[in-house]
Amino acid sequence: MESPFQVQQRVTKDAVIYDLAGDLSHRAEDMLLGLRDWSQGLEPGQYIILNLTKVPYINSMGISILIRIVRSLMGAGCQTFAYGITPHYQKLFRMVGLTEHMMIYPSEYSILQHIKQLKEQ
C-alpha cells in the first residue's frame, strides 16, 4: 500500500530545504512540480536541499520527477543537494545519471557545512 506523499519547506539563510515524506511516485508529481517554478531557481547564493529520510519508496516516475526538478534548477544556475537516501536508491540515482546534477550527502549538517565552504571560496 502506498504511503501518502507530503512535503514541507524550511528556509535558511543559505538554502531552501524540502522535507519529503511518503512514497515518491506519480501521486507526488503535482505536489512537487506545483511547489514553485523550478526553472526560476532561487535567490543568488541559495541552494536547494532535498530531505528524503522519510521517503520509503521511489519508483521510476518519482525518479523522473526528481530529474525534471534538478535539471530545471541546474538550468537556472541553482545547485541541488540531497540526503537521507538509502544505498539502494543511491545506486539507482547513479545508474540514471541523477547524481551528475544532484550531490548526495549523509546528513543535512554535512550539506550545510559544504555550502558554508562554497561561500568562503
pLDDT one-digit tens code per residue, 50-69: 999 999 999 999 999 999 99
Q: How many CA atoms lie within 13 A of 65 on its CB side?
A: 20
Percent of the residues in the chain that have a pLDDT greater than 70, as a whole number: 98
55 within 8 A of 21, measured Cβ to Cβ: yes
pLDDT at 3: 78
Unique residue bearing C-alpha cell 521511489: 58
Of the options 3.30.450.40, 3.90.1520.10, 3.30.750.24, 3.30.56.10, the CATH number for the domain spanning 6-111: 3.30.750.24
pTM, entire model: 0.94
Say what the alpha-carbon torsion angle 57, 74, 18, 38 is, to the nearest 10 degrees.
Answer: -100
Would you kindly state where each structural domain of the chain is located, as residue ranges? Answer: 6-111
pLDDT at 10: 97
pLDDT one-digit tens code per residue, 32-43: 999 999 999 888
